[in-house]
Amino acid sequence: MQKNSALNLKEDEMTNTVRKITALFTAFVMAAAILVFIPPVNASAAKLIDYSISYSGKYVKLRLIPQSSSDTIYYTTNNTKPAKTSAVYKKQLAAYAKTTVRAIEYNKNGKSVASIKITITPRAQKPVITETVKNGKLMLTLKSASSGAVIYYTTDGTAPTKSSRKYTGAIEYTRGMTLKARAYVSGLNSSAVCTYSLSDSEWAAATGNDVSGDSIFNDPSASEETKEVVRLLNEERAKRGLAPLVMDPMLDKAASLRAKEVAGHFAHTRPDGSNNFTVLDEMNIDYGYAGENIAGGQTSASAVMSSWMKSTGHRGNILSDNFNKVGIGHYVSGGMDYWVQVFSD
């Protein structure tokens, strides 16, 4: 009996031990289940506030976009943690120096729902291109308004980098070139790229060359003022895809004579009443098509060209594809400027 009692006692102890282990395991599983389904604290606060960045002149602009129109965003610009006592975001922020913005967004219930920490950096201002023409060459100068800017450029249309050519002085623009330039400033983002490119006709009008590269100013005695009239004339033609007109020395002589004549007889007839084109016959100038524009009172090439371009008939001569040569006359009498354009094929 004692033997059986001892055996029963051991069996009871083993049963109790199994029960304890089972209870502990059940408790562990339940605890684990509880841990799995407990939501993380402030899970929604991990969201980032949406934003957009833009540039205007020397400024970089940051726009913060709340999740709801009823939400409120508080921000700082000195890299300190924002709170409800910080500035309230109402409109996009603008900075002209590198700035770290920190912001937190609260919903209408006062719960934080999103935040952001972002550093915004302005970019160097885009280079400005200035054109000058001298002796048939178109020269381009580059300048950025950003202090300390270094400009790099390409002439084959590729995007410039710091590995490109460094700008040190005026660049001669040649036919078919595509100039691109970008400015760099220490501590700022690189600028937007500026681009300069002309069609063949635009290049010819700007430089005083025809598309083959020959000068359109074939009269060495022509004044700078009359050359400017031709340049502006060809600029208008280039805008419309028309070939430039060549300045012809014989037509210049005819136009100069006509300018003196219209100073005393302002009409498309000569002082003796004959047709204005008889001047071409007198100078043995062969032509199939001919045209004439006259004007008085304008004191500059740009002023007279502006007047002619506002007149349908005069503009028609300037833009006619029947002509390929032009002569310019300019004469001053009694303090009045008189101008004549004579066209021919």
pLDDT of 16: 59
Q: Indicate the helix (H) or strand (E) that contains 16.
A: helix 2-37
Say what the pLDDT of residue 175 is.
81
Instruction: Enumerate residues 6+ apart whose C-beta is below 8 A from 322.
Output: 289, 291, 345
Angstrom distances, CA of residue 261 to CA of 12, 181, 185, 223, 291: 140, 51, 60, 19, 16
Q: Fold for domain 129-197?
A: Immunoglobulin-like (2.60.40)
Structure tokens at 33: 């289940």
Domain range annotation of the chain: 44-120, 129-197, 215-344
Please tell me if the domain spanning 44-120 has the same topology as the one spanning 129-197: yes
For residue 247, the model assigns a pLDDT of 85
What's the rounded Cα separation, in Å, for the pair 110 and 84? Answer: 10
- Report the top-level CATH class of 44-120: mainly beta
| pLDDT (tens place) for every residue of the chain, 345 residues total | 444 444 444 555 555 555 655 555 555 444 444 444 444 444 444 699 999 999 988 899 999 999 999 999 999 999 999 999 999 999 999 998 999 999 999 999 999 999 999 999 999 999 999 988 877 788 999 999 999 999 999 999 999 999 999 999 999 998 888 999 999 999 999 999 999 998 877 777 777 665 554 455 554 555 788 889 999 999 999 998 898 998 888 999 899 999 999 999 999 999 998 999 999 988 888 889 999 999 999 999 999 999 999 999 999 999 999 998 999 999 998 899 999 999 999
Confidence at residue 22, expressed as pLDDT on a 0 to 100 scale: 57
Q: Which residues contact 280 (CB under 8 A, 6 or more apart)?
A: 254, 287, 290, 342, 344
Secondary element (H or E) of residue 295:
strand 290-296
Query: What pLDDT is recorded for position 144?
Result: 95
pTM of this structure: 0.50
Instruction: Please say whether the beta carbons of 262 and 293 come within 8 A.
Output: no
Return the pLDDT at 212.
52
Question: Which pLDDT value is given to residue 226?
Answer: 87
User: Is domain 215-344 given the CATH code 3.40.33.10 in the classification?
Assistant: yes
| Alpha-carbon distances, residue 278 vs 272, 273, 345 (angstroms) | 11, 11, 16
